[in-house]
Structure 1
Amino acid sequence: MDRIINPFSYKGTVAINSSKSFFQRALAISLISESKVQLVGNSNENDILTALKICEKAGLQFKKTKNSIKIDGKLTNSKKSISVNSLESGFCARVFSVVLSYLYNDVTINGIGSAKFRSFNFSFLSQLGLKVNAKGLSLPVNIKGKMQSGEIKIDASDGSQLLSGLLITLPFLSGDSIIHVKDLVSSPYVEMTIGILKDFGIDITNESYKRFYVRGNQKIKSSKYFIEGDWSGAAFHLVGAAISGEVKIHGLNPNSLQADKAILKALVQCGAIVIVNEDFIEVKHFKLNSFLFDATDCPDLFPALASLASCCDGISIITGTSRLINKESNRARSIKLEFSKIGVKVVLKGNHMYIHGSKKIKGANTKSHNDHRIAMALSIMATVSKGSIKINNSDVVAKSYSNFYKDLEILSA
């Protein structure tokens, strides 16, 4: 669906949706632990529903309501093989490939759309006694064998999701394991995984995120888990308020382990008014200056940061564009192309994105590139545009934030 966003200013209060990063991890832990758990939070985002569908096919019994999922614990699927589709969720493909390989002797993971063109390297699983069959680094992948504990070496230079899959799975094996990690990026996401596991009573220690010690035969202790609000989706509203208006968002944990909480640092650095409270986060517009920001460990912030930089005086520099190739789109190129249509100059050089602030943002026909974060970034630019911004395939926001446009309407002055 195409959507036209008319010029507006941010004004109002909204309760943010639950974090899909937290929800997906909690579902994976619930599946592999085979324990009775209640997950409290809204779960209507496409990526969460994909994870839930995978868990259901694996035999997980649950009852879903508007604001919670009650999980029975015991798996009903007694088959030794399973084939699942992760759709366009890279997280589900990577994490559940490890989780399911513990539960089943024959696992096939497939995907659709952009997932078919993303890179997936599952070869490290051979160190756990498994046989991996795939054509290059693409889906589908087939994994056979009985998983064994032990020492594993993994290259995490392309992302941390496979490492998260190991951290979620290995505590439930009969023996202890050690993971040696090379060139880890997105370490906040690993910290998040370890934090969630700790909330469930699972203990993992590490040495500077280069070596992880995982004790086997662990059991989860939590029976009710509250999913915190999503900083990734909230970042767009916070930026929208910084460039035009004001907003107050409830449901965000100011002490969150989510990587995208780092948006607050960028907002403060460029001069926006930021008020952090235990009950809400409030942002107000003020004169904005250019900023320098390293988004290597929080690459999902790039689109929101691009919107922010577009409205700052001067040239802002965002580092970490190498992390944007293996996303729903080639995110760096998508930002450069679509922001140029609305009057913003974006230069890509090396591992950096240079964004020239503009006071002449204009309306235009744009494309989301089937990327939920590109669609949201373009949407909030209507707060400063001289005309309407039309976005092709805007419904893609449902991947991570199904109520984005409903909340945007609430916050439109």
Structure 2
Amino acid sequence: MTLIDLPGSKSVTARALFLAAAADGTTTLLRPLHSDDTEGFAEGLRSLGYRVTQEADRWHIEGRPAGPAAPEADVYCRDGATTARFLPALVAAAASGTYRFDASAQMRRRPLAPLTRALTGLGVDLRHEGAEGHHPLTVRATGITGGELTLDAGESSQYLTALLMLGPLTAKGLRIKVTELVSAPYVEITLAMMRSFGVDVLREGDTFTVLPGRYRATSYAVEPDASTASYFFAAAALTGREVTVPGLGAGALQGDLRFVDVLRAMGAEVAVGADATTVRSTGPLRGLTVNMRDISDTMPTLAAIAPHADGPVRIEDVANTRVKECDRLEACAENLRRMGITVHTGPDWIEIHPGMPKPAGIATHGDHRIAMSFAVAGLRTPGLTYDDPGCVRKTFPRFHEVFADFANALEGR
């Protein structure tokens, strides 16, 4: 058995930074993720006048319930979708201030419209400088009264998360009716974390009610990243080995841990304990059809190992993967075809047929999840190369080093 100690969750770290900034008092985050995305979020908070102190395994954030200390600021969100979507919502509740947000070319291409329409519908003076519904944008804050709104979160659950976390900062709270929702487990992370910072959300079906209130500073431990864990779980299932990830167990917040249920359906043995999860190979992987709407960040992981199943692997209801860092569905198809694998795609599905992959150059499209997923494929197909291996810095800067050590441990070297 191989034990793998993984860095903290990107999703949890980003939410914790927002909540800590809005809280009354100083919050300490234990084992937050150190990556380009989370460093960019922390840098954005500092640009807004929040005090963020970073130590090796803990960050301290002095909250400002009234909003940013800086009356005006330029914030560069890098490639980070959480930074680009959460921080405009955070500053919108301030009583006054002018804040301009911009992002990388990759992030500029990613959509914001459902969120920015919701904010303008609440009376926020928010203006896009270029393409409507995309960065760059400027928020002229005058506070938010609150009220009711309808939201389509079918592209990204982050739109709903941003509004939920904003809710207590408004004068009268928010009542949000959601018409479509993708990656629903990420919203459950948000609700649980808001409770940890002292705020409850009432959910009645597709309607969320957030009352005005105050977040309370706390000491918050960030659990390991479940999306990152998927690469190591898949590696065990693919290579006939066993791996255990401590810190991710039955009480984990992150829905992407459900990826192990997909591996179980493919024949792997899975044990989810109180504070750890173990995946053990029991033989060849089975083909299957699976809906991955709620765990779509792990779709590339499954796609990368799918050629080694004994039948076709069809992944359905993943249209939202087309508007991530790249069109992940087509990126997976493109790379698998380069490796000689038969692949079919549709608007929201991909079907991958069994085959013997051959070495090829992997086009990452600057997407960390494409690079990390095909690193798993490389365990059975030596000789794969990557046009941008460094793109993993977004969530796991040391991935290639850690994964190489892990691969050696699997082989007993």
* Superposition TM-score tier, normalisation by shorter sequence: over 0.9
CA distance in 1, matches of 2:154, 2:84: 18
Question: Which residue of structure 2 aligns with residue 56 of structure 1?
Answer: 46
| Aligned match for 2:87, one of 79, 90, 96 | 96
Q: Distance in 2 between matches of 1:216 and 1:125?
A: 17
Distance 1:273 1:29 in 2: 37
The amino acid across from 1:125 in the alignment is L
Match of 1:298 in 2: 295
Distance 1:253 1:17 in 2: 15
Give yes or no for contact 2:68–2:91 (8 Å, CA) kept in 1: no
Equivalent runs, 1:182-221 vs 2, <5 Å: 182-208=179-205, 210-220=206-216
3-state SS in 1 of match to 2:28: strand
1:167 aligns with 2:157: no
Equivalent of residue 110 in structure 2, options 115, 118, 132 = 118
Determine if the alignment matches structure 1 residue 324 to structure 2 residue 321: yes
1:68 and 1:79 map into 2 onto residues whose CA distance is 25
Q: Give the equivalent residue in structure 1 for 2:61.
A: 71
Q: 1:396 to 1:132 in 2, by over 3 A?
A: same
Is contact 2:287–2:313 with CA below 8 Å preserved after alignment? yes
User: Within 5 Å, which residues of 2 pair with 1:1-400?
Assistant: 12-74=2-64, 78-103=69-94, 104-121=96-113, 122-134=116-128, 135-146=131-142, 147-208=144-205, 210-220=206-216, 222-244=217-239, 245-285=241-281, 286-358=283-355, 360-385=356-381, 387-400=382-395
Sort the Cα spacing of 1:136 and 1:73 in 2 relative to 1 into closer, same or farther, 3 A: closer
Partner of 2:398: 403
Structure 1 unmatched runs, 5+? 1-10
Give the Cα separation in 1 of the matches to 2:67 and 2:296.
Answer: 38
Q: Is the 8 A contact 2:173 2:210 kept in 1?
A: yes
Amino acid at match of 1:82: A
Alignment partners' CA distance in 1, 2:174 and 2:318: 34
Secondary structure at the counterpart of residue 99 of structure 1: helix
Change (3 A) 1:153 1:84: same
AA paired with 2:403?
A: L
The more displaced of 16-25 and 240-249 is: 240-249
- 1:317 Cα offset (Å): 0.9
Cα distance in 1 for residues equivalent to 2:187 and 2:288: 27
The one-letter code matched in structure 1 to 2:391 is V
Aligned pairs, number:
399
Change over 3 Å in CA distance of 1:142–1:72 after alignment to 2? closer
Q: Matched residues, percent identical?
A: 24
Asked whether the 8 Å contact 1:247–1:411 carries over to 2, the reply is no
Deviations 1:213-240 (A, max 9, x none): 11102332x5211001110001011001
Aligned residue identity for 1:112: S
SS in 2 for 1:411: helix
Q: 2: distance between equivalents of 1:265 and 1:213?
A: 32
1-structure distance, mates of 2:27, 2:279:
36
Deviation at 1:389, TM superposition (A): 0.9
| Alpha-carbon distance in structure 2 between the residues aligned to 1:95 and 1:234 | 25
- SS of 2:294's equivalent? coil
Cα distance, 1:78 vs. partner? 3.7
Q: Which amino acid aligns with 1:270?
A: M
CA distance in 2, matches of 1:34, 1:57: 19
Counterpart code for 1:156: A
Task: Specify the alignment match of 1:8 in structure 2.
Answer: none
Contact 1:33–1:172 (CA under 8 A) maintained in structure 2: no
Aligned partners of 2:62 and 2:134: how far apart in 1? Answer: 34
Q: Give the partner amino acid of 2:225.
A: D
**CA distance in 2 between partners of 1:374 and 1:197 (Å):** 31
Paired amino acid for 1:50: G
Q: CA deviation at 1:379?
A: 0.8
- 8 Å Cα contact 1:335-1:374 kept in structure 2: yes
* Aligned 8 A contact 2:20 2:62 in 1: no
Report the residue type matching 1:323 in the other structure: N
Query: How many Å separate the matches in 2 of 1:283 and 1:79?
Result: 48
- How far is 1:182 from its partner? 1.4
| Native 8 Å contact 1:232 1:260 kept in 2 | yes
Q: In the TM superposition, what whole-angstrom CA distance separates every residue of 1:93-140 from its partner, at most 9, and x where no partner exists?
A: 111111111135322211113112111111211222112211322211
Task: Say if 2:17 and 2:61, in contact at 8 Å, map to a contact too.
Answer: no
Distance 1:179 1:77 in 2: 25
Runs of 4+ in 1 over 6 A off after TM superposition: none
Report the counterpart of residue 3 of structure 1 in structure 2. Answer: none
* 1:403–1:251 CA distance, 2 compared to 1 (3 A): farther
1:203 to 1:351, Cα distance in 2 relative to 1, 3 A: same
| CA distance in structure 1 between the aligned counterparts of 2:67 and 2:111, rounded to whole angstroms | 32
Distance in 2 (CA, whole Å) between partners of 1:124 and 1:179 is 10
1:239, 1:307 within 8 Å by CA — same for their partners in 2? no
